[in-house]
A and B are shown apart, each in its own frame.
Chain A
Amino acid sequence: MTGTKTENRLLDVKGLTVEIETRSGPAVIVDGIDLHVDRGETLGVVGESGCGKSLTMLSLMRLLPNKIHVAKGEAHFDGRDLQKMSNRELRKVRGGDIGFVFQDPMTSLNPVMRIGEQLAEPLIYHRGMSKKEARARAVELLRLVGIPGPEQRIEAYPHELSGGMRQRVMIAIGLACEPKLLIADEPTTALDVTIQAQIVDLVKGLREKLGMSVVWITHDLALIAGLVDRVIVLYAGTVVEDAPVDELYAHPRHPYTRGLLASIPKLSDQPASRLNSIGGTPPEPGRRPQGCPFAPRCPLAMDICRTHVPKLEPVAAAGSHRTACFAAEKAREAA
């Protein structure tokens, strides 16, 4: 593990378990996740839809929807446990110390409020600015995220902006109070490819300018290659692999990670060839198999995989690369 020094840890999550209430009792969605983000670090969180990426991040901020709750676990942010904080303290952290950028810019802005007001809201609330100061800062923020004509744009309503512009506004709102951590939950999923690259570049530039940490949730491994320092791969609510980004691309150990990387189409592929995919779907909450949750879909599954749950352990050679797989060695040989 890199940087075990605790003072360098901005976010430290231990054993986070999230459950959903169902008619047949609680079902685990996020199963004892450990993750950490160092100061100034950018972490990529990768996985298929429904593997608990967003819920993990929402649960940190205690923003889970009805019937879903944190069953156990700790989440220390800047030395304080977010799960034990009072609502009042937590509200200061939300928007103030942790900025959030949501997946869908089309529906994440209040349609009846001018974007200038929406930008000003956290500034007035967290920084105690006057309306006038907040407005001036809103213009500055819009300029920062590369929106042309910010003086006019703050008067606009969300429906007057394109998707890319709205996502820039969302990022500006997330950054308004200069948070220590920006959590971006699939911020490019709803956008087309050219805009995706712009948004990635934008966050990359801002991260350096503001010196913040970023958690970037995505299912697109290729997109974040140049952005993140380290990647954790989630599958069915567990961390299956945790590695520095270059290491992960060069030597993926977990069969799931390998599957994800193999499913990225390459230009060198035969035009008519079938796209690679991982067969099957992730297990539904409450229906996880005994043993490794990936075993039913895993090409390398052994008997032990169906009876025992593998632990997240360092891969022999590289200390900062960890994976939860009994077949990791085999996978290396296969590679």
Chain B
Amino acid sequence: MSAVQTEPATLSEEPPVSLWRDAWYRLKRNRLAIFGLCVIVLLAFTAIFGPYLTPYDFLGQDLEARNQAPSFAHLFGTDDLGRDVFSRVVYGTRTAFLVAVVVTAIALVIGTVLGAVAGFFGNPFDRVIMWLTDVTMSVPNLLLVVVINASLKTPIAQWMEARYLETLNPFYRETVWIDFLLVFGSMALISWPPYARLVRAQVLSIRSRPYITAAQALGLSNRIILTRYVIPNALGPLIVAVSAGLGTAMVLESAFSFLGVGVNPPTPSWGNMISDGLRVWQHYPHLLAAPAAVLGLASVAFSFLGDGLNDALNPRGSK
């Protein structure tokens, strides 16, 4: 073993660079991605703290000052009930983020678990799960959401009302939660299949890599191999998908609210604000412009970040 010392030490002082730090280094140099990230951070901050910082209550009506154009008192003007549009857009950010994050989280968990099981354990799990995925994807999203809302909203509302009469607990009068429950549920239901497919494809390719066989040769259990060897290696594309998915979920929530099957008034949502603004846009364009611009900005920010992450995490794929 005298030959051992001949190989030079290639790294000494420098701290080891993890794949993630490497990716962050690449991401930092992508201006659009950083712009997207900044917008998202700003919006997230708004979503969390905004409602405490706005000068007006998002429900507060000032019938003396209806349909006002933007001014210093009302940055985005006021709507037909004299409510401050800026405050409502800020609160709408919270709605949008809440829906996007919760829906994406649920869809991600369902998709990752199903996709990983399908890919790693193969048939018969694979066949059943992929069949389920295909069936879910083949149903038109909007139709499914409308059907769920139409068929479940009334029964749940009635049940809640009955519980209220029984217990007189004011919690059961809070119909906002029915909206959120249905929106979360139905959107998660249509959002998980792409994650499942992505994870399955990743797992299928990773499963045949030598380091998985090496891990098996070490006697590690399937659970450890799946959670410590397979999924961490599938994470890159998954992070990109989540970034894009958050943006999509946000737009989807607005679309459903716009169509009246999402979050219902008076809870502000960009979608129902756009819907309201659309009726009077010839006279009061700011009522449409403010929420639409913010929605557009958020959507673009997520897709810039997603693209940047894609280049940063899969450097071989970019030019």
Contacts and interface: CB of A to CB of B under 8 A. Distances in A.
Interface stretch (B14-22, B47-55, B275-283): B14-22
Given A148-B5, A160-B16, A201-B1, A173 B218 contact: yes
A164 B7 CA distance: 9
Contact of A107 (B211, B219, B229): B211
A111 B233 contact: yes
Contact of A63 (B12, B16, B213): B213
* Contact-size category for B: 35 or more
B138 interface: no
Contact of A109 (B7, B10, B214): B214
Contacts of B4: 146, 198, 202
Nearest to A106: B210
A262 interface: no
14 contacts: A58-B213, A100-B218, A109-B211, A113-B232, A125-B218, A125-B221, A146-B4, A157-B17, A170-B214, A173-B218, A194-B6, A197-B3, A198-B4, A198-B7
A264 interface: no
Contacts of A104: 210
Given A94-B219, A121-B220, A155-B16, A108 B211 contact: yes
B215 interface: yes
Contacts of B17: 157, 160
Nearest to B18: A157
B216 A94 contact: yes
Contacts of B15: 155
B217 A94 contact: yes
Contacts of B228: 110, 113, 121
Contacts of B16: 114, 155-157, 160
Contacts of B233: 110-112
A195 B224 CA distance: 33
A187 interface: no
Interface in A36-84: 58, 61, 63, 65-66
A125 B9 contact: no
Interface string A161-183: 11011000010010000000000
A159 to B, nearest CB: 8
Given A102-B213, A108-B211, A125 B220 contact: yes
Contacts of B224: 121, 125
Interface string A216-247: 00000000000000000000000000000000
Interface residues of A, number: 50
B219 A96 contact: yes
Interface string B191-220: 000000000000000001111011111111
Given A157-B17, A157-B19, A93 B219 contact: yes
A289 interface: no
B143 interface: no
Nearest to A96: B219
B11 interface: yes
Contacts of A156: 11, 16
A103 B217 CA distance: 13
A60 to B, nearest CB: 11
Contact of A149 (B9, B209, B214): B9
Given A104-B210, A198-B3, A94 B9 contact: no
A112 B19 contact: yes
A41 to B, nearest CB: 21
Contact of B219 (A92, A111, A198): A92
Given A104-B210, A146-B1, 6 more contacts: A94-B217, A102-B213, A146-B5, A148-B5, A160-B16, A198-B7
Interface string B219-246: 1110010001100110100000000000
A286 interface: no
A205 interface: yes
Contacts of A32: none
A95 interface: yes
Nearest to B15: A155
A100 B219 CA distance: 10
A91 interface: yes
A252 interface: no
A126 interface: yes
B26 to A, nearest CB: 15
A63 B217 contact: yes
Interface centre among A65, A90, A96, A160 (most CB of B within 10 A): A160
B220 A162 contact: no
A65 B218 contact: no
A198 B224 CA distance: 33
B233 to A, nearest CB: 6
A110 B220 CA distance: 13
B13 to A, nearest CB: 9
Contacts of B221: 91, 125
Nearest to B212: A110
A293 interface: no
B219 A126 contact: yes
Contact of B208 (A65, A93, A159): A65
Nearest to B1: A205
A122 interface: yes
B219 A161 contact: no
